[in-house]
Copies of this chain bind each other. A is one copy, B any other.
Amino acid sequence: MAGDTRERLVRVARDLIHDSSFAQVSVEDICKEAGVHRGSLYHFFPSKERLGLAVLDANWAMMSALLDEAFGAEAPPLERIDRFVRGFGGMIVLMRERMGSTPDCPIGGLSAELSGHSAEMRAHATRILDAWAAHFSGAVREAQARGEVDTRLDPEETALRILAYLQGTALLARTYDRPELVEHARGGVRALLGTSL
């Protein structure tokens, strides 16, 4: 029971947020679900907004693990991108199974919502998105060096396109409640790279 209260709050908050949205989840909802009293939450977080930021960071840690696993592999760059997209789709499917409804992208959805609160939040969100896109642009550059991707493609622009496509796919998957859309995103990503699958 010692020390894990903060962790539990973040975990519960994440689940509740992904099931609806940051705005629609109240501090009381989170506390009740976590079995914690309101004052306790404010011992760890100065505001609900900061708790949201902690959730975003936790999501980014999860996404980073996925990225490291895929991009750290000993594999050609295009296959590393494929691996990540598969992992991303698997994560969405898993979350859907755990919560009964298809979630948004854990990064994009929350980022978009929090970045409307303050400039500081937006800066934080863009930093995360930049770090994410950097994995893609690095792989694109490498694939170009290997002659697998057209060198006329700008790596940064292409990376942003892939990111946008994944975000949009997650958004549609949520609205349609069809998590498999994200699972099948590899084809679209390959099309953006100009390489047949």
A residues within 8 Å of B by Cβ? 20-21, 23-24, 101, 104, 108-109, 111-113, 115-116, 122, 125-126, 129, 157, 160-161, 163-169, 171-172, 174-177, 181, 187-188, 191-194
Nearest residue in B to A169 (C-beta to C-beta)? B164
Across-interface contacts of A168 in B (CB, < 8 A):
108, 163-169, 171
| Residue contact B175 to A171, C-beta cutoff 8 Å | no
B175 touches A160 (CB 8 A): no
Dominant secondary structure of chain A at its interface with chain B: helix
B174 touches A112 (CB 8 A): yes
Chain B residues with CB under 8 Å of A157's CB are 187
CA distance A109 to B108 in the complex (A): 12
List the B residue with the shortest CB-CB distance to A125: B175
Known: A24-B23, A122-B177, A176-B126. A188 touches B161 (CB 8 A): yes
**List of B residues within 8 angstroms of A188 by Cβ:** 161, 164-165, 192
A125 to B176, CA, bound (A): 9
Q: Is the CB of A167 within 8 A of B171?
A: yes
CB contacts (< 8 Å) of A174 on chain B: these are 112, 115
Cα(A125)–Cα(B172), bound, Å: 10
Residues on the B chain within 8 Å of A129, using CB: 172, 175-176
B175 A122 Cβ-Cβ under 8 A = yes
CA distance A172 to B125 in the complex (A): 10
- Told that A23-B23, A160-B172, A167-B167 touch, could you supply 7 new A-B pairs with CB distance under 8 A? A108-B168, A108-B175, A122-B175, A125-B175, A161-B165, A167-B171, A168-B168
- Bound: A177/B187 CA distance, A: 29
Q: With a CB–CB cut-off of 8 A, which chain B residues contact A163? A: 168, 172
